[in-house]
């Protein structure tokens, strides 16, 4: 079993829809949870990170962490074609340096 | 914001030759550099971790004699693919980190290596 599971998609939704991206994990030691966006043939860029459980909002993006269920989500409201990319979840334990990545979900927002 | 650059962005080489990829942190000091490779439609695979002035720590299954990593300064790390073969063709990405997991950290834009 992988430490982090993420549905690779592809996921295709119409413009303006609410997008929900999710990851599950098995290592209860993970404390920091990140979401990265990667455009084709580019390096990943950090969208949001959350420490422990709870919600965090930044503009159209909301990150949720439920440590009891070992489940994290990224919501994108009012999705735009420019949001079309691969979204990678990543997580790390306290004191560790190595990020553990999910497989990435390919998202396409159709105009 | 902080930027990590990589050079070259795309390189094509003949089988058997060596290729050097540079990763620079432009406005922060990266005490740790991570090197990843990514195959099409797959996630990032960590190859090695290097701390400035120290030897790199390689992940299981990564040949340290084939993928030479140097982290001579806080702003520059290099990955040299020695005697490259077509199966080494991939997207190589570095990530610079200054401090802990929530401190400054940025991925480079990646280098596409094609070995003929």
Cα–Cα distances (Å) from A60 to A31, A50, A55, in that order, read 24, 16, 13
Position A97 pLDDT exceeds 90: no
Look at chain A and count its residues: 111
Q: What's the rounded mean pLDDT across residues A11-16? A: 96
> Is residue B41 within 8 Å of B103, Cβ to Cβ?
no
What pLDDT, on a 0 to 100 scale, did the predictor assign at position A95? 77
Give the Cα separation of B49 and A93 in Å (integer). 16
pLDDT category, B102, cuts 50, 70, 90? low
Interchain contact B41–A (C-beta under 8 A) = yes
Nearest CA in chain B to A85: B41
What pLDDT, on a 0 to 100 scale, did the predictor assign at position B34? 94
Q: What's the rounded mean pLDDT across residues B69-89? A: 94
Q: Which of B48, B113, B39 is nearest to B82 (CA)?
A: B113
Pairing verdict, β A45-51 and A61-66: unpaired
Q: Mutate which of A88, A95, A97 to test chain B, going by most B C-beta atoms within 10 A? A: A97
Contacts of A101 in chain B (CB under 8 A): 43-44
Position B2 pLDDT exceeds 70: no
pLDDT category, A22, cuts 50, 70, 90? very high
Residue B104 DSSP class: S
Strands (E), chain A: 4-5, 11-14, 19-25, 30-38, 45-51, 54-58, 61-66, 71-76, 85-93, 100-101, 105-110
Position B1 pLDDT exceeds 90: no
Subunit contact B107:A101, Cβ cutoff 8 A: no
Q: Which of B25, B12, B11, B14 is nearest to B97 (CA)?
A: B25
Subunit contact B101:A32, Cβ cutoff 8 A: yes
> Is residue B32 within 8 Å of B50, Cβ to Cβ?
yes
3-state secondary structure of A64: strand
Subunit contact B91:A102, Cβ cutoff 8 A: no
* Tens of pLDDT, residues A37-94: 999 989 999 999 898 888 999 999 999 999 999 999 999 999 999 999 999 999 998 8
Residue linked to tokens 């209860």: A28
Distance of CA B12 to the CA centre of its chain: 17
Give the Cα separation of A34 and A46 in Å (integer). 7
> Is residue B25 within 8 Å of B2, Cβ to Cβ?
yes
What pLDDT, on a 0 to 100 scale, did the predictor assign at position A2? 82
Look at chain B and count its residues: 116
């Amino acid at each position: 079993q992988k430490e982090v599971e993420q549905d690779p998609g592809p996921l295709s939704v119409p413009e303006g829809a609410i997008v929900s991206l999710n990851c599950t994990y098995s290592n209860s030691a993970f404390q920091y949870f990140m979401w990265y966006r990667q455009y084709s043939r580019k390096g990943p860029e950090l969208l949001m990170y959350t420490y422990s459980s709870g919600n965090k909002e930044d503009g159209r993006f909301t990150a949720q962490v439920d440590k009891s269920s070992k489940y994290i989500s990224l919501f994108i409201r009012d999705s735009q074609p420019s949001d079309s990319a691969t979204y990678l979840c990543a997580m790390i334990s306290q004191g560790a340096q190595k990020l553990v990545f999910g497989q990435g979900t390919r998202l396409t927002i159709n105009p | 914001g902080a930027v990590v650059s990589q050079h070259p962005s795309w390189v094509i080489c003949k089988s058997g030759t060596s290729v050097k990829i540079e990763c620079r942190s432009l406005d922060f000091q990266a005490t740790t550099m991570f090197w990843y490779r990514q195959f099409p439609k797959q996630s990032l695979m960590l190859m090695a971790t290097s701390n400035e002035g120290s030897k790199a720590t390689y992940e299981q299954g990564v040949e340290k004699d084939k993928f030479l990593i140097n982290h001579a300064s806080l702003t520059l790390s290099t990955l040299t693919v020695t005697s490259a073969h077509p199966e080494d063709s991939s997207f190589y990405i570095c990530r610079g980190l200054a401090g802990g997991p929530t401190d400054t950290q940025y991925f480079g834009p990646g280098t596409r290596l094609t070995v003929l």
